[in-house]
Structure 1
């Protein structure tokens, strides 16, 4: 079939125009997915949302980030692997939940090693290079870390000594909480946050140690009667990014994201402290007994802390010894 000159030019024009449109679209269409296991109202999630909004504002249309909250895309145990394999470009995890992979992920889980925000920041800053090195080996970069409020004990009745935990089905969420349960003679039971209410309601667990923030998120007053603020530990969430995804962005945008991550970390500490004050009050307002720990309980915790610190250094080796010595200096 003969084609007219007009048809040939039109076809040629279409062929030339397509790559230009495609390149332009690609430049505008960088899209990331981010997964977090925590619900929308949680302060960690609210901080992540602000971080994502800041990134998109700084990107000026070059990058969009779709945030999936409440384990709706990936459950906690799969998020780190999701970032590592490129299934998602960013993710938020409880660092201690992954300490089976590396002992440095749960230094903050040792009971009473960290009891306030100044101590939490000191340990986090010392821990950061070790965490960064380990994530870098897996193709990821650490963006920021934010501690949870100090953890306390949830139970159905007041528990005044560590011996009161013996035999109870005790909710764990990390190797450190599992080890603590074993030391005090409780029955360790792994339960993710999203399953807490059902686990207590069905008797799968009878006690747990976690923050007041998690208690409010899971409506703890529906399944536990007593909260004892122990200052047990202040574990951290870590927000990480795929290095490949990050390095594909323009250099100035990469720098801006890291600057915004530092801002998110500072904001996260402030939100955590505010959440600590508000959520402990909320537990009491919703009918839970908030009972200070006895000196006997705290003395028992200090003994467990000394044992678990020694065990942690034994697993972590020379670097672990350096970290603890620097922290205590």
Structure 2
């Protein structure tokens, strides 16, 4: 090869290299829910926004439905750097620290306005706990309010006595116990099979999960308790995040803020459309009876006090800030 040709090839390679991002990162992102779930759709848009804002400098590949890591493994995989970014249901971490379970206390915050106020009151405490494990919070988005799915009408907690009740975190386990039901841990993707095989008889979950699992195939009654709005949170490995150039960090944070705003709006819209879809598919939609409302309010107060005993002064500060916010 002549020296002239070598110089031409070298110049072409150099030119191509200069056209690439100065810093390219390819991030795998495990998430626990399927592609039809609005949380996943929001995260996919977040990934697109990050790619666009960084000119391809950070490419996030979303691995949905637990396909890369199962839900219980996602947080630890991000902490250990096996995946730089991931999504988890915040209250799944309540066994690590009670602050992660504050949004799953029944009837503490049972509307979107109350849910926003509770998040404002608790976010800094959540961020501190994640920071201790080398994790940085990007954003959090709530599920629609949690409501009862059963085969028969539920007029009081007595109607659930002895029933096998689907649980997905410590709060739902405790709620089942206080209602006299038997908690059984079931992941979202296993709900239809669990009902079909008789492992569970009832559950409390969002309209979104009811629709995505086609709850009308195995339950017939939806009691609109709107008990709480549990959040999914997206976190990043702090070392991986801080290893990015500053402009890319800024772009990710801006995309995260947009994803938070968009996600809350999607969640509210999902509440209305989800309940409508359940009804269209033959489920009976009803408001809780006065007896059931009173019983669940009492359970909520019991669980708030139990949470405060575990959370101590830090938990009391969160509750005080929330209640002083006027919500």
Q: Shared fold by TM > 0.5? A: yes
Partners of 2:58 and 2:248 within 8 A in 1: no
> What residue in structure 2 maps to residue 76 of structure 1?
71
Structure 1 residue 161 corresponds to structure 2 residue 156: yes
Instruction: Indicate the SS of the match to 1:309.
Output: helix
Deviations 1:99-139 (A, max 9, x none): 11111001011111111101000101111111111111111
Q: CA deviation at 1:317?
A: 0.3
> Residue 184 of structure 1: which of 161, 179, 182 is its match?
179
Residue of 220, 234, 240 corresponding to 1:239 = 234
Written as runs of structure 1 = structure 2, the 5 A alignment for 1:272-287 is 272-287=267-282
What TM-score comes out, normalization by structure 1 length? 0.92
Work out which of the residue numbers 277, 283, 290 in structure 2 matches 1:288: 283
For 2:240 and 2:154, locate their aligned partners in 1 and report how far apart those are by CA, in whole Å.
49
Alignment equivalent of 2:82, drawn from 79, 83, 87: 87
Q: Displacement, 1:29?
A: 3.6
SS at match of 1:37: coil
Alpha-carbon distance between aligned partners in 2 of 1:125 and 1:19, rounded to the nearest angstrom? 49
Give yes or no for the alignment of 1:149 onto 2:144. Answer: yes
2:168 aligned residue (157, 173, 190): 173
Conservation of the 8 A alpha-carbon contact between 1:28 and 1:61 = no
Shift in Å, 1:184: 1.6
- TM norm structure 2: 0.93
Hey, what does 2:25 align to over in structure 1? Answer: 30
- Aligned-pair distance for 1:57? 0.2
SS at match of 2:236: strand
CA-CA distance at 1:326 after TM superposition: 1.4
Provide the rounded CA distance (Å) in 2 between the counterparts of 1:257 and 1:22: 24
Q: Structure 2 CA distance, aligned partners of 1:37 and 1:20?
A: 41
Offset of residue 254 of structure 1? 0.4
Identify the residue that residue 304 of structure 2 maps to in structure 1.
Answer: 309
Residue 245 of structure 1 deviates from its aligned partner by: 1.2
Q: What's the counterpart of residue 111 of structure 1?
A: 106
Aligned equivalent of 2:196: 201
Shift of 1:65: 0.9
Distance 2:21 2:125 in 1: 36
Quote the offset at 1:45 in angstroms: 0.8
Q: Hey, what's the Cα distance between the residues in 1 that align with 2:179 and 2:156?
A: 10
- Offset at residue 20 of structure 1 (A): 11
Secondary structure (helix, strand or coil) at the match of 1:123 reads helix
Q: CA RMSD in A?
A: 2.3
After superposition, give the CA deviation of every residue in 1:169-198 in whole Å (9 maximum; x if it has no partner): 000000011111111211110000010000
User: Which protein has the larger Cα radius of gyration, Structure 1 or Structure 2?
Assistant: 1
Measure the CA separation in 1 of the matches of 2:59 and 2:254: 17
Distance in 1 between residues matched to 2:123 and 2:18, nearest whole Å: 38
Q: Quote how far apart the aligned CAs of 1:18 are.
A: 10
Q: How many residues align?
A: 322
Deviates more, 1:271-280 or 1:19-28: 19-28
Contact 2:87 2:233 in 1 (8 A): yes
Q: How far apart are residue 24 of structure 1 and its match? A: 9.0
5+ unaligned residues in a row in structure 2: which ranges?
A: none
Unaligned regions of 5+ residues in structure 1, if any? 1-5
Report the equivalent of 1:56.
Answer: 51
